[in-house]
Amino acid sequence: MTAATPAAAGSGQSAGPPAPTGRRFLAALYDVPALFTLALLLTVLLLVVNRGERLDATAASLAVFRASLVVLWALYYAVSWTRWGHTLGMRVWKLRVQRADGTACRGSDALLRLVTSVIAWLPLGLGVIAAAWDPERRAWHDRLSRTRVVTRR
């Protein structure tokens, strides 16, 4: 029997091996239909609130719609990472996000991870692809937010 690391023992989580880049990518693809469904539901809700008027009828309503989509995207990831440790796609591929010390992500970790993930994806996804060559399989946003994606046991 092996002893768990102190951080993992205190959090009730075991530190798993770094997640392979391919599984991380597939998990992200699995999240697309979930995000699309949530965006569709948000659009219907905003149409009801807007009494059926087009959401791009005015610059203000279009700005509200776009901002709502960004907030929805951020909430999906932040709530998933902080509450369960994984998104729907990550659950399917048995992955978990945790802090570098093995403890669960906090709200501030999730927010920093979201902001820095945009930075990692902007230069043609180079910051995400970098995880394939990193010995710890960490992308730019993992390093900048001091988090890591591990394989659940």
Instruction: Give domain status of residue 12, yes or no.
Output: no
pLDDT band (50, 70, 90) for residue 4? very low
Within a domain: 43 = yes
Question: What is the distance between the alpha carbons of residues 92 and 98, in angstroms, rounded to a whole number?
Answer: 17
| Band (5; pLDDT cuts 50, 70, 90) | very low
Confidence check: pLDDT of 77 > 80: yes
Q: Say if 2 falls within a structural domain.
A: no
- Domain span including residue 91: 18-151
> Does the structure show a pLDDT above 60 at 8?
no
Q: pLDDT digit string (tens) for 82-119?
A: 999 999 999 999 999 999 999 999 999 999 999 999 99
Q: Which residue has the tokens 């009494």?
A: 51
pLDDT of residue 108: 96
Residue 6 domain-assigned (yes or no): no
Q: Is residue 4 part of a domain?
A: no
Looking at the domain assignment, is residue 7 inside a domain? no
- The distance between the two most distant Cα atoms of the chain, rounded to a whole number of Å, is 64
Region label for 7, one of left (φ > 0), alpha (ψ between -120 and 50) or beta (otherwise): alpha
Q: Is it the case that residue 7 has pLDDT exceeding 60?
A: no
Total domains present in the chain: 1
Using the predicted structure, report yes or no on whether residue 11 has a pLDDT greater than 60. Answer: no
In sequence order, the 6+-apart residues with CB closer than 8 A to the CB of 76 are: 31, 34, 35, 38, 87
User: What pLDDT, on the 0 to 100 scale, is given for residue 14?
Assistant: 54
pLDDT score of 76 more than 60: yes
Q: Could you report the per-residue pLDDT of 12-69, keeping only the tens digit for each?
A: 455 789 999 999 999 999 999 999 999 999 999 988 887 777 776 677 778 888 999 9
Q: Does some domain include residue 5?
A: no
